[in-house]
Structure 1
Amino acid sequence: MSEQNDLSTLKLYATRPHPCSYLPGEDATTVFIDPTASLDAALYSELSRYGFRRSGANVYRPHCENCQACVPIRLMVNNFKPNRSQKRCLKNNRDLTITVVHTIDTPEHYALYEKYINKRHCDGDMFPASHAQYTDFLTAEWGVTEYLEMRDANNKLIALAVTDTLDHGLSAVYTFFDPDEAHRSLGNFAVLHQIQYAQNNNLTFIYLGYWIRKCQKMNYKINYRPYQVLIDQHWVTVTDYPPEIEAKGQLL
């Protein structure tokens, strides 16, 4: 069966409207792939091209009736050149040792996640952190998931990036880090390292999920130029601020 046929036979389910986590006063609706469907690495890669993401084993995308603010975004790594701030971030973290591991089912990993959620996201729907949430959210799926450990000179774990390898890029699933190391800009560093990782493995894109123009937390995603956004099911390349996309009314 071809990928096209696989996609055409997938069942989609929609959640009921619920308060949006990113835009106050807005309702959100999410569509997700039938959890009983047989997904594999190839199908997951293809779904990423259509703007789908995963949370644990659940593959989803926003589908709000009156709002199109969530715009899928992916970085074009072959043409990426770090700006001055990004070069400084790389320099400030050159002492870190980065190792790929295949499990984070340890007290050390969970303790870092718990500290991150409880200090950085105490106003979000993931607070308070729990081990069940951690396990369900950061699972390894379809043989494509890797965990990038970042340790300082004392071998202390200070950050971890969860990343999935697609057939044409990486999907940056989630990054968490020690809030006490905020001066390192570890969230930005994790993206920069995944760009380098993709370049070294001849991959073309880094998927960063969704960008929402009016959500300040999302602004970092457009600092890595060039990037592409998915508009009307077409990936549009952006090298500077995208007035042509704003004119479509997609990012308002």
Structure 2
Amino acid sequence: MTVHHPQSPQFFLTSPSPCPYLPGRAERKVFTHLTGERAPALLDLLSQGGFRRSQNIAYRPACERCRACISVRILVDEFRANKSFRRVLKRNEDLVSFEARAEPTSEQYALFRSYIDERHLTGGMSEMSVLDYAMMVEDSQVDTRIVEYRRRVPGALGGPEARQGELLAVALSDVMADGMSMVYSFFEPGASERSLGTFMILDHIERTLRKGLPFLYLGYWVEGSDKMDYKIRFRPQEHLLPKGWERYEG
């Protein structure tokens, strides 16, 4: 007879639905709930197995005949910015960032709506209301941070005055035992010349390094999906394969 510990997580499987990354394929996910005092430790454990967090759910792909989604994490201690990355950092020298406990604001939502309406109007987030956004940010049982990237206010040395600069990008990230995990990020769609998506990853590599943690988790790289190819530019990195985490050589 199998005995289940009363605090052991229960896992569930979703029904098949169209894959958002590879046309003509169906996706399924296995998921569990992250609740209570054990949520941070459970997320740490599940992240080692390729799970991601969305609000109080931890999930990972469980497709029947497809293994295209591969978990990616950057080895931050070994990362060195190449010439292209240094140009991105240079273009954004006029930005300042603020990391705090995850709390939603109307200013963030306005930027989120601009980003979604411009970049992902037909995606699953296109109908998110301000309340939906608030839940995405604050419905977490783990150590979740929000990082705002603002245009520097001339003459402002810090404090509330420094936070009055134009909001250009936002990242929602978890701090775990072995690294940071970028849950979701968005940015001003009219500032494409800044490469803000790349800039936020570079900034998070530095944040993870300053916290003394070894990994920055980027979620899934989907081979064959052009919109996911940016993730393999940040090397060295490891991919979660059948034998465990292995260094990606390209």
Using the size of structure 1 for normalisation, the TM-score is 0.88
Q: Which amino acid aligns with 2:9?
A: L
CA offset digits 1:152-200 (Å, max 9, x no partner): 1340011011111000100011111110111100000000000000111
Match of 2:176 among 163, 166, 187: 166
Unpaired segments ≥5 residues, structure 2: 154-164
Matched with 1:72 is 71
Residue aligned with 2:114, SS: helix
| Equivalent residue, structure 2, for 1:89 | 88
1:118–1:128 Cα contact (<8 Å) kept: no
1:182 aligns to 2:196 (yes or no): no
Q: What is the distance in 1 between the residues matched to 2:240 and 2:220?
A: 10
Q: Which residue of 2 aligns with 1:156?
A: 166
TM-score of the superposition, structure 2-length normalised?
Answer: 0.89
Q: State the match for 1:245 in structure 2.
A: none
Q: What's the CA shift for 1:34? A: 4.0
CA displacement, residues 197-226 of structure 1 (integer Å, 9 cap, x when unaligned): 011111100111110110111101000000
Displacement of 1:143 in angstroms is 4.2
Pairwise CA distance, 1:101: 2.4
Q: Find the counterpart in structure 1 of residue 162 from structure 2.
A: none
Query: Runs ≥4 in structure 1, deviation > 3 angstroms?
Result: 34-39
Measured in 2, the distance between the counterparts of 1:210 and 1:151 equals 28
Between Structure 1 and Structure 2, how many residues are aligned? Answer: 235
Over the residues paired in the alignment, what is the CA RMSD in angstroms? 1.8
| Match in the other structure for 2:218 | 208
Give the aligned residue type for 1:106: T
Query: For residues 183 and 232 of structure 2, what CA distance do their matches in structure 1 show?
Result: 17
2:102/2:144 contact within 8 Å kept: no
In the alignment, the residues of structure 1 paired with residue 47 and residue 16 of structure 2 have an alpha-carbon distance, to the nearest angstrom, of 23
Asked if 2 retains the 8 angstrom alpha-carbon contact of 1:116 and 1:176, the reply is yes
**Mapped pair 1:53 → 2:52:** yes
CA contact (8 A) 1:74 1:229 kept: yes
Match of 1:250 in 2: none
Check conservation: 2:79, 2:235, Cα contact below 8 A: yes
Distance 1:227 1:167, change over 3 A: same
C-alpha deviation, 1:233, in angstroms: 4.8
Q: Residue type of the partner of 1:197? A: R
